[in-house]
Amino acid sequence: MSAKNKKEGLVAGNNSIVIGGNVQDSNIIVGSHNKVTNQTINITPLFKEIYQKVEDSKVLNPQEKTDVKEELQEIQTVLEKPNPDETFLARRFRNLKRMAPEITEIAFETLKNPIGGVAEVIKRIAKRATEEANAK
């Protein structure tokens, strides 16, 4: 390796990868003939379905529907982040369950379907909520 191609103090062999800086949320591919997919889950359509269930609810009055939709909006906002805060989500779901238990169950079932981290977070929160309800 010639001196002009070498960075100060940095030596890399064949097929090596040298990364500088922040690579958070990046794809790094090594090798040949790799297939890469960068899947992100769009949960907006799932929430549209849940919001429609809120609107169709015969149990909730208009003010309760507004409150439930606000809780759902906060849940959606947090779930769209790369690392959702489970404690915050658990509190939001507890509030939602107090206001509209049937909507909470619909939300859990609807949100369990997506692939990836969101589904796992929702499964853990749903399990915890069920355990708390059974403990009472």
Q: Tell me: the pLDDT tens digits for 37-65?
A: 444 567 888 899 899 999 999 999 999 99
Q: Does residue 76 or residue 37 have the better pLDDT?
A: 76
Interior angle at CA 73, CA 71 and CA 76, nearest 5: 110
- For position 110, what pLDDT does the model report? 84
Q: What is the pLDDT of the chain when averaged over all its residues?
A: 77
- For position 34, what pLDDT does the model report? 56
Classify residue 130: in a domain, yes or no: yes
> Is the pTM for the entire model greater than 0.85?
no
Q: Does residue 18 or residue 106 have the better pLDDT?
A: 106
Mean pLDDT for the stretch of residues 87-92: 94
Residue 91: what residue type?
R
Classify residue 29: in a domain, yes or no: no
Classify residue 105: in a domain, yes or no: yes
Residue 8 zone, left/alpha/beta (φ > 0; ψ -120 to 50; rest): beta
- 3-class SS shares of the chain: helix, strand, coil, % to 5: 55, 0, 45
| pLDDT higher than 70, residue 112 | yes
Contact of 104 with 129, CB cutoff 8 Å: yes
Contact of 95 with 71, CB cutoff 8 Å: yes
Mean pLDDT for the stretch of residues 106-123: 70
Contact of 127 with 135, CB cutoff 8 Å: no
- How does residue 106 score in pLDDT terms, banded at 50, 70 and 90? confident
**What domain range is 91 assigned to?**
44-135
Contact of 74 with 111, CB cutoff 8 Å: no
Provide the number of structural domains found in the chain: 1
- How does residue 116 score in pLDDT terms, banded at 50, 70 and 90? very low
- For position 17, what pLDDT does the model report? 61
Classify residue 17: in a domain, yes or no: no
